Each structure stands twice: as C-alpha cells, then as structure tokens.
Amino acid sequence: MMSAPRLVIDLEKIYHNAHTLVDRLAQRGISVTGVTKAALGCTEIAATLLEAGVTRLGDSRIENIESMRICQQTAPMTLIRSPMLSQAQRVVRFADVSCNTEIDVIRRLSLEAQRAGCNHGVVLMVELGDLREGIMPDDLLGCVYETLSLPNIDFKGIGTNLACRSGVAPDARNMAMLTELAERIETTFGVRVDIVSGGNSANLQWALSGAEIGRINDLRLGEAILLGCETLHRQPLDGLHTDAITLTAEVIEAKLKPTLPSGQINQNAFGETPVVADRGQVTQAILAIGRQDTDPDGLQAAAGIEVMGGSSDHLILESEHDDLSVGSEVTFLLNYSALVRSMTSPYVTRVVMPALDQ
Ligand SMILES: *Cc1c(COP(=O)(O)O)cnc(C)c1O
C-alpha cells in the first residue's frame, strides 16, 4: 500500500518534456539550463534532465546543489539565486557558476575561491523591467570591469529574469537590450560573453516564435519541463505532458452535507469570512491534506470533482459522483504553487517512477 499524501513523479514524462524543449530550442541556437529547484534538487530528476540533453543544471538553493553533489552528480551546476554572503564558501565549493547582482558578494566569492584553490564562474544578472533581481543596465559595464579584476573569478556571461515578480513578458525590446549589452561588454573589454541567459519558462513563447534571437543562447527552464506549460498564460505546451507530477491524497470523510453553514459567520482559520450560496445538499469529501502540504487553489481533480477549500490539514471537495468513499484516493494536477508546497512538506512522500531505458 502506497502512503498518502504522495507526489508521483513520472521520469519518462519529464524526460519527454525536457527532450522536446531541448530539441525545439536547439533549432534556435539556445541551450537549456535544467532548473531543479521546484523538485528540491531531486537527483533522479536531475539525471533525467541531463539524459534529455540539458547543458547544465540550475538551482536556487545551495542546499539542493550540495545534495545533488553528494549523490555523485558531476554535471555543471549554476546557483541561479544570488548567493548569500554567509554561504559564499559553500557556493564556490559546490556550484561551478552563480548568478550575481552585488559586487560585494562577488568579492567574497573571489576570496573563498582563492582559499579553496579553485575558480568560480559568475553570470551577472541584469534588471530589464520585472524588478526582481538584476543590476541596472547603466551599472553593468562597471560591474563587469570589477568582476574581471577579481582573482579566481571567471566572468561567464549575463542573464536576465522576467515575468517572476511583475509579470513582464520577454519581448523583442528587452531581449534586444540583453544582446546589445553582451556586445557592448565584448567591445569594451575584449572578452567573450559565453552565456547570454534570456530567462525562464516565460521566455519560451518568444524564443520559439521565430523572433530575432540575437545573442541569447540559454534559457533556464523549470516549470515548463516539470508541468508542461508556459508561464505567461499557463497554457499547456504543444506535445508536452502536464501530468508528469501528480498529487494523490486520501479521503477521510465522505458525507451528504448542506452547502450553507448554520450559525453566525465570523472569520475562519485563515482570517477569511466566507460568503456561501445555498446550493442545497452536496456530496462532500474531506482529504487528509491541507494548506500545510499544498496550495488548495492550485489543485485540479478529474471532471466532476471540485476543490472547495482547505484548512491546515483538511482539503474539502465536492463531487458529482458518489465514489469518494472513505479510504479511496483522489489524484490532482498541480500548478507551480501547489507543486513547490507539496515538495517541501515533510508529510508528502515522493514516489519516483523509473524511466524505461531510452
Ligand atoms: C526559478 C527560476 C528559473 C526557472 O523558472 P521557471 O519558471 O520554473 O522556468 C529561472 N531563473 C531564475 C533566476 C529563477 O529563479
């Protein structure tokens, strides 16, 4: 008997998604950094991405990179979040490259790399409108100049991240700007900008649209590979699996209940005051999973089953069918928010389905 709740990770479907995207982007001259952060640096997923042809692995947490190294993963790995000063030593030890926006951090990486007797690669992230991480474009050349002067630091390239905080779409303008910055660095300093990383899953539409790619030669892809969707409108990507990872939970109560609460309505457990319409009696089921384990708003069950809400430990469903008996299981597709919360809950087990030999 498999334990519940559980995430089921289908490596064959992840392989298919990754391989398809690697192929399509290769035709545009773009390589893929396979991002493992939503899977906590899961070693099987990492190996599957590499098998499918990603050029390197990327993760936002040095802990995940460390755990992949402990599992003997020797592929090139990029820390895609700016390193904490306090983690600089671990960063140079376990990651080949890190994305950076602060010269003080790069100085510390240089110091730690000298101490460790190794070199560390640096990609400088540029702010192009989304207002999360990034050096302001006017300050980029100065930062490159300083980076180039630091011992044991290899300047690897530049990158940008869009559509994460503000939902700014990658387009001809901001992507041309990144290309122009790469070229300005090369003519100013006579160095080669190896990596020009255009962005994340939100860049796929632009990259595959036939647009002028310029110098963009890398995308960092997580969600598109794991969930099979683009991230500007969350539409399924042609030919990709959207059920490579699913979440299954168990029914602990199933009853016919009224839709209208009885009594005086105040705040619920999460400070909301629910307003409910009377729809008579419904078949209500409770699953043993809650907001501690996932994002109820990010779950999608089969047709006829609707997620009505959740508290910390209970997920409430309504069903048009009467097969949601106690002990039965319900499987959901997840959005990114539900996925990362389920992955990080200690109460949700992870079942990895082995891929067949390719
Ligand atoms: C998370 C992240 C990515 C991957 O984003 P997806 O939308 O999952 O493809 C890429 N780059 C950076 C800097 C990130 O933080």
Q: Is 224 in the pocket of ligand 1 (CB under 6 A)?
A: yes
Q: Is 121 in the pocket of ligand 1 (CB under 6 A)?
A: no
Model confidence pLDDT, tens digit, residues 303-323: 999 999 999 999 999 998 877
Secondary structure letter of residue 197 according to DSSP: E
Average pLDDT of 191-214?
97
Give pLDDT, residue 266: 87
- Look at the block and give the residue holding tokens 């011992």: 151
Give the E-state strand segments of 23-130 in sequence order.
31-35, 56-59, 77-79, 97-100, 120-126
Domains of the chain: 11-227 (3.20.20.10), 245-353 (2.40.30)
Give pLDDT, residue 357: 52
Q: Which helix (H) or strand (E) holds 204?
A: helix 204-207
Give the E-state strand segments of the chain in sequence order.
6-10, 31-35, 56-59, 77-79, 97-100, 120-126, 153-160, 195-197, 218-221, 245-258, 281-287, 299-300, 305-310, 315-319, 329-334, 349-353
Model confidence pLDDT, tens digit, residues 167-187: 999 999 999 999 999 999 999
Model confidence pLDDT, tens digit, residues 121-148: 999 999 999 999 999 999 999 999 999 9
Task: Using the atom order of ligand 1, give the atom closest to the CA of residue 159.
Answer: 13
- Look at the block and give the residue holding tokens 């950094």: 33
Give pLDDT, residue 2: 86
Residue 350 pLDDT exceeds 50: yes
Residue 358 pLDDT exceeds 60: no
Residue 154 pLDDT exceeds 90: yes
Give pLDDT, residue 295: 98
Model confidence pLDDT, tens digit, residues 262-284: 998 888 888 888 888 899 999 99
Mean pLDDT for the chain overall: 96
Amino acid found at 123 = V
Average pLDDT of 194-209?
97
Contact 160, 198 (CB under 8 A): yes
Q: How far is the CA of 223 from the centre of ligand 1 (A)?
A: 8
Which of 80, 81, 233 has the most ligand 1 atoms within 8 A of CB, as the residue to mutate?
Answer: 80
Q: Is 62 in the pocket of ligand 1 (CB under 6 A)?
A: no
